[in-house]
Amino acid sequence: MSEIIVSPSLLSADFSRLDQDIAMINDSEAQWLHLDIMDGVFVENISFGFPIIESIKDICKKKLDVHLMIVEPWKFTERLAELGVYMMGVHYEACPHLHRVVQRIKKAGMKACVTLNPHTPVELLEDILPDLDMVLLMSVNPGFGGQTFIPNTVAKTARLKAMIERKNCHTLIQIDGGVNYETGKQLVEAGADSLVAGSFVFGNDNPTEVIKNLKNLLYEQ
């Protein structure tokens, strides 16, 4: 891996000035933009949906990285593909027929990501891992931004990385929740390829500098 993929979470942006925050992301070194979509059923929160994606898809220059925290996420595969989404992430816990969902995502022309809640062991992905472009490990309980990082995620990341290497896969590892310089460095050292950061980016006076620093954690001593 040549560099960390930074995917700022739009959930922490100021929606009253969304165009300005998107412009900031465009001018930054972030490679992706993370979109957390919640339905109030799978998680106890409601965020945003297709109208927001529709409004930003033509002005955002970064790849759209969608994290669906919803029940029956496969129903929206084709619609997300039409909106130009790059990575579609579904929760393992929400998909009883996970292989079918992953194949549907790929058939629609998107990259396929499977997300695991903090309590879900990575070993459950053993059989489907070669089919996945990315695994997202939640390092907080999904549903709300600004939560405290769960330390066990570092060891969990290392176990997943070992599994990927053992199976000779090229699957990326992304982490979402409580990411900052300290936790980010631990995660990168454990094998993470991509970091999602929301409040740590958008709550900073110099968000582009934060993004740059996160991207370069790999090279820090």
Active site residue 36: yes
Active site residue 127: no
Given a contact cutoff of 8 angstroms between Cβ atoms, the answer to whether 122 and 158 are in contact is: no
Query: Shortest CA distance to 1 belongs to which of 134, 121, 198?
Result: 134
- Sequence letter at residue 76: F
From the number of C-beta atoms within 10 Å of its C-beta (0-12, 13-18, 19+), residue 25 rates as buried
- Tally Cβ neighbours within 10 Å of residue 83: 15
> What is the signed CA dihedral for 127, 130, 131, 137, rounded to 10 degrees?
80
- Sequence letter at residue 100: R
What is the C-alpha separation between 114 and 169, in angstroms, rounded? 15
- Sequence letter at residue 43: V
Active-site hit among 65, 133, 176, 193: 176
Active-site hit among 21, 36, 65, 133: 36
* Residue positions annotated with a catalytic role: 36, 176
